[in-house]
Structure 1
């Protein structure tokens, strides 16, 4: 039986080079999964009408239309996944509009600008807001990332496989024909880690973690027998371990739990941190997914 992981790929564009790179990644993803591609350009609307408001709205709308046309021109006659491309120009806040299009059956794709000080301080960036608060799966493609099939997919495996980051990673590795690296990080507290190293009984953490992972990996390996994978178990900071050695040619998959963007930044959640630090596309899985025939 053949399966597809996504029914639809939704990509946000604003005319920037970063958003066009996200479009490239989204187009290939639609092809790999036989999914429909929807291109969305969003223009802001002032909360209250006032002098000159109508002209500002029209300017913003026209800018969004130009972004939509640039995306359509970029695609040319390409029909990703063998389907017609839908192009939408919508009013509202970009992060909110795209989040509403994110659900269990869609993945929303956005670009991310560079990692300068201003970008790190920009609380309201669309990519960070979506990584924190979208109800479904979000892919963030940073500036400079490769947008063809990755050489390797790395997935962060938590203690509980919910949401289905592992399932997403296996499905992507199968669709793209690349190897999978499963990284499990435990013992982030340095004091607890030191005590574990000193206790010969507790020091068996590695074997216990490996046994726990084996059960969860087994069912996905049975579903995707063509996927080759390796398991890496480490102690330390999860963000540092997930980012270690990544290149622009990789893909990173992590699980996340939806919360406000402000809360995510205050808590320095793992998804928010890796989205800002990864040189490659990052897929953040918020929802438990269901394969569809």
Structure 2
């Protein structure tokens, strides 16, 4: 591993989408003063089983192909950050297995939303759950433009989401941009169901409580990052719609990997997958256990 700083790791597969992820990762590495690690996951295709084609010849051909992918990725990274320290490696294994192992020593793992080769379908279905749920550092899914706008963070109102808030503040400070903290405190569908059942619910009180919770979750971080201007948004809507609304004008959306309240099941359910597939900007997924990604420790 290059240097003493934890590298920014990016998955490479030769696709145009992956080159966009490389650009994002190179800029992130430049800001951190960290090396960039380009990783190609090498696995023989299932459609060419032993006996159908000569395995050694196939492996050699695929390895020559990956060399071209890595060189293109290196050129893309240097175009973004000319003085960046870069390491390019090929690792045997599936995309998720490889990147989960890489995340053990990475500051951030960066992937594209779609691609081909070693990272085909990386963020489709159960594969995305495996990576986001098992990574040891924040995972950034690059999709859409990210040139301007604030960092948006989903706040679920529990200590579990602390790592996501920490990462969001860190990113906003590094980018010199604002932070928008979004807390979805009730779902209109739930409110309608309660009303139809003639249950007495004091929504004014619920909103007041949500205001206090949001302030408590942000207080320490605002003190640690006084240069970051924070806008608090209490949203009476489904978390998916709330975050997608703010993602339209965001530079990055940050969410925790698990939680309850307004963001229950954000990564392991349909909400996270919808966000990954439809957000107009990159999406960062941060697990509670983020030992070296710059998040996860409450401010003192």
TM-aligned CA deviation for residue 78 of structure 1: 7.0
The one-character-per-residue Cα deviations of 1:36-82 (angstroms, maximum 9, x if unpaired) are 211111221368972222222222222222111111222348767x6
C-alpha distance in 1 between matches for 2:123 and 2:166: 33
CA contact (8 A) 1:38 1:85 kept: yes
C-alpha distance in 1 between matches for 2:101 and 2:122: 25
C-alpha distance in 1 between matches for 2:226 and 2:266: 38
* Aligned twin of 1:153: 151
* Aligned twin of 1:209: 210
* Aligned twin of 1:68: 70
* Aligned twin of 2:276: 275
* Aligned twin of 1:45: 44
Q: Which runs of 5+ in 1 are unaligned?
A: 1-5, 259-263
C-alpha distance in 2 between matches for 1:78 and 1:232: 34
TM-aligned CA deviation for residue 193 of structure 1: 5.7
C-alpha distance in 1 between matches for 2:112 and 2:248: 17
C-alpha distance in 2 between matches for 1:78 and 1:202: 49
C-alpha distance in 2 between matches for 1:166 and 1:198: 34
C-alpha distance in 2 between matches for 1:29 and 1:234: 30
TM-aligned CA deviation for residue 103 of structure 1: 3.6
Mapping of 1:79-228 within 5 angstroms? Answer: 84-103=85-104, 106-113=107-114, 122-123=124-125, 129-142=130-143, 145-148=144-147, 150-163=148-161, 164-188=163-187, 190-192=189-191, 195=194, 199=200, 201-228=202-229
* Structure 2 counterpart SS, 1:158: coil
| Superposition TM-score, scaled by structure 2 size | 0.79
C-alpha distance in 1 between matches for 2:15 and 2:234: 39
Q: Which runs of 5+ in 2 are unaligned?
A: 116-120, 260-264, 296-300
Mapping of 1:252-267 within 5 angstroms? Answer: 252-257=253-258
* Aligned twin of 1:3: none
Number of equivalent positions? 274
CA contact (8 A) 1:24 1:147 kept: no
TM-aligned CA deviation for residue 136 of structure 1: 2.6
CA contact (8 A) 2:111 2:141 kept: yes
Mapping of 1:234-253 within 5 angstroms? Answer: 234-247=235-248, 250-253=251-254
The one-character-per-residue Cα deviations of 1:80-108 (angstroms, maximum 9, x if unpaired) are 7x652111111111122012111485210
CA contact (8 A) 1:13 1:19 kept: yes
* Aligned twin of 1:30: 29
TM-aligned CA deviation for residue 129 of structure 1: 4.5
* Aligned twin of 2:118: none
Query: Which portions of structure 1, spanning 4 or more consecutive aligned residues, are displaced by more than 4 angstroms?
Result: 46-49, 77-80, 119-122, 196-200, 264-267
The one-character-per-residue Cα deviations of 1:184-207 (angstroms, maximum 9, x if unpaired) are 012237234664898474431111
186-195 or 235-244, which moves further after superposition? 186-195
